[in-house]
Structure 1
Amino acid sequence: MAEPTPFILSQYGNLKNLEKYCRDMPKIELHAHINGSISPETLQQLVERKKKYKPHLAQFTIPKRKLDVIDDFFSIFKFVYQLTDDEESIGYITESVILDFKKDGVQYLELRTTPRSDKDGMTKESYVGIVTSVIQKFSYPEHGIIVKLILSIDRRNTLEEAMETVNLAIKYKNKGVVGVDLCGDPKEGHIDNVKPAFIEAKKHGLKITLHFGEIKANIPEHASMLAISPDRLGHATHLDSESKDFISLKNIPIEICMTSNVLCNTVKNYYEHHIRDFLLTGHLCCICVSDI
């Protein structure tokens, strides 16, 4: 464990007191993927539940903390999805994730997830149904946390698949769905393939957030993405000057995921993180977790 700095010693006494202060501080979380926010303990419990029917899952190990490239992150999900391939598991992880955030002092939480189906009976709608039913169990102030849901469209989706997600978001608006997200491997797909779905979502009063500029290769898409008039942007790691000016002019809030960026190696370290640029200009940001 790192040695406490003079500032920490003078203000908090020790690292344990600083950690308690951070946990007790009321917080909001706006960029938390359900399947990416599962704790190591919950993952291991899922392995124990599944390995009788899927023995190969017993080989699952918690990934190392820092990845070599962002691609390694997406390969992990292929395994996680095998642990969460039925309605019971989806309900279990949703509640576990909410309780973990509550334990960390989060009072307003927006979870996000891509609706999935499975050959054993789970449909995209039943997936959304089980997630929203768990979310509705939590209320403020009774449970100390408000939970909402954003449905994600994968960049690899066809327009038909994207519209299916938007239609589910519209249908479940009165059960906690507040917006639609663009997510997935930034090296795959293109915004123009699914753009009409986001335009449709806005027509129905849903908010829009987009994973934006995660890698430099996404820069050519930026103008098309910003033309949607998103309400928030996730990451915004690599920006061209035109995008930077537009985001500043429209004051579009940024979901900053520092730990995720560093661990996925899209940012070299915390000292060189792009949050510095936004803070220096007073741009509206929210520090979030993403999949950590």
Structure 2
Amino acid sequence: MGSTLYSIFTIVMVAEFVFGNLSNGFIVLTNFIDWVRKRTLSFIGWILLLLAISRMFLILEMLLAWLKYLQYSFSFMAGTEVRVIMLTWVVSNHFSLWLATILSIFYFLKIASFSRPAFLYVKWRVKQVLLTILLGNAIFLLFNIIQINKHIEEWMCQYDRNTTWSSRMSGYERFSELVLLKMIMFSLIPFMMALASVILLIISLWKHLQKMQLNFRGEQDSSTKAHMNALRIMVSFLLLYASYFISFFISLIPMTHPKGLDHMLSLIVGLFYPSSHSFILILGHANLRHACHLVLRQLRCGQKQ
């Protein structure tokens, strides 16, 4: 049973890795070509480009972490290797979550309609507001790196003092739990911001539909379609974000499966977020969707020839 699960998990993990690199690589390539051709790139294009790059690093980091786990348990890795793996994961995870959150806020500010002066002030200065959020959360990243590095130093000191296998394993388990709890704590802030954007966009859509009913207009005008498209992208982000949180909790829960299967399960659930959401962004963004249709058309023509 263990070997069967192991094979299934391996196939799923490889499929997620390939799918995630294809979808994120497509976003990077499309926006890079657009940048080279036009000598400029829109604000949303830069967000998508940086988001896809950060997710490619995150996916690669998760795969390398699994390969290292296969080679030998993390508890017996060199301190430098643990430091590089952890800090690279922290940075890529930070930008993957925050850039996706900024993208959700961008959709909300561009599409939602409220008459409050505060909202109009932010809406008119959307680029400045989002750049401020992006630069401001660098403080969170710096603080997170300092905290993780502190835990690594403490674990390395305990590792040098302990000589038995059981003591080193228990020391690493405590260390990994602390790191995961820190990651959950720092990831809650962008999640709550994205959740607030979704709720406000739903309120805006509801008010918009009420106005349309009063004016006897159809429900498929351009504003409604824009609301629904943005809402689908933002809700999908929240759901996949939630699955990413679940992967953290799976890592914290002690399992009775054969060695490595609990770690594989957490990676599979975690990889689902950076792999799938980028594909949803391709379908929801007009330029990316058009470029995808062109690629598929070229592939079909090549097969016919």
Larger RCO, structures 1/2 (Cα 8 Å, 6+ apart): 2
Query: TM-score, normalising length from structure 2?
Result: 0.25
Higher Cα Rg, which structure:
2
The answer to which structure has the higher helix fraction is 2
Select the structure that is richer in strand: 1
